[in-house]
Copies of this chain bind each other. A is one copy, B any other.
């Protein structure tokens, strides 16, 4: 059985950075209470390891005790939460991905300059929830690729940007439909190239294998998208978090296996999956 592993599987820049920051904080502040506001990255195995080292994960800022050390997750957080932590005299370590900080600053700027803001993304994703908070006024709408009509916008100046992990093709398609209707459209391409590169590689591999294995958190949006994209090009695709979910029966008669992993999947899990696959 031939196994093809994607060259770009696993940790992206922002995830690697956030995990390293968390490791450093857990070491340096080991005598203090250390919280993370939301899962630092969307991988349950990595989060569990960090919890074993003493990290407390909470989603609600009000549950954090004053004076604690608090790590802000890679997806970023609302300005209000950061202000609350500062008011509680917490020591805030911001592990927000720099590629997420860019759209945060874009929204602040567009909001200050009175643009109506269109944010292309998933309104329930922590990154998007954080981003929306950087708009001081209510002139922001989160849209997905099904958006058809922009008649609800009562401004002639529109700014548009995207959640970092969205599809560039879908973003460009929304921009195309938007520009004809407004005097000024300010487009910020905030999509992280790592996502695009990973997705393109997954498509390439999915086309030539019998089964595609996508490794990553079941709560990871970019991993779920890798699964969906692979599905379009390969009949058999499985989404697993660890090698324990591999079932020998899925590989009966299989000649070629493709493997890719989401941006929050650690190298050692990818290695374990590879070894288990080789042993089948």
> Which of chain B's residues have a CB closer than 8 A to the CB of A189?
179-180, 182-185
A179 to B173, CA, bound (A): 10
Distance between Cα atoms of A184 and B191 in the complex (Å): 11
What is the copy number of this chain in the assembly?
2
* CB-defined contacts of A172 to chain B, threshold 8 Å: 176, 179-180
Set B168, B171, B173, B184: member contacting A187, Cβ < 8 A: B184
> A186 in the interface, Cβ–Cβ < 8 Å?
yes
A229 to chain B, nearest CB (A): 18
Expressed in whole angstroms, the minimum distance between the Cβ of A196 and any Cβ of chain B is: 9
A-B contacts, 27 listed (Cβ < 8 Å): A168-B180, A171-B179, A171-B180, A172-B176, A172-B179, A172-B180, A173-B176, A175-B175, A175-B176, A175-B179, A176-B176, A179-B187, A179-B189, A180-B189, A182-B189, A183-B188, A183-B189, A184-B186, A184-B187, A184-B188, A184-B189, A185-B186, A185-B187, A185-B189, A186-B186, A186-B187, A187-B187
Assembly CA distance A186 to B168 (angstroms): 17
Residues in B with CB closer than 8 Å to A182 are: 189
**Distance of A199 from chain B, by nearest CB (Å):** 14
Interface on A for B, CB 8 Å cutoff? 168, 171-173, 175-176, 179-180, 182-189
CA distance A194 to B179 in the complex (A): 18
**In the complex, what distance in Å separates the CA atom of A175 from the CA atom of B171?**
12
Which chain B residues lie closer than 8 Å to A176 at the CB level?
Answer: 172-173, 175-176
| B-chain residues with CB within 8 Å of residue A187 when the two chains form the complex | 179, 184-187
Tell me how far the C-beta of A136 lies from the nearest C-beta in chain B, rounded to whole angstroms: 20
The minimal Cβ–Cβ distance linking A180 to chain B, given in whole angstroms, is 5
A168, A184, A187 — which one has the most chain B CB atoms within 10 A of its CB? A187
SS class of chain A's interface: helix, strand, loop or mixed?
A: mixed
> Which B residues touch A171, using CB under 8 A?
179-180
Interfacial chain B residues near A180, Cβ < 8 Å? 168, 171-172, 189
Q: What is the bound-complex CA distance between A185 and B186, given in angstroms? A: 6
Chain B nearest CB from A168 CB (Å) reads 6
Closest Cβ of chain B to A77, distance in Å, is: 24
Q: A143 to chain B: closest CB distance in Å?
A: 16
How far, in whole Å, are A176 and B189 apart by their CA atoms in the complex? 12
Please, how many angstroms separate the alpha-carbon atoms of A172 and B173 in the complex?
11
Residues in B neighbouring A185, C-beta threshold 8 A: 186-187, 189
Bound Cα distance A102, B109 (Å): 23
Interface centre among A168, A173, A185 (most CB of B within 10 A): A185
Question: With a CB–CB cut-off of 8 A, which chain B residues contact A179?
Answer: 171-172, 175, 187, 189
Query: Which residue of chain B has its CB nearest to the CB of A191?
Result: B180
* Chain B residue at minimum C-beta to C-beta distance from A168: B180
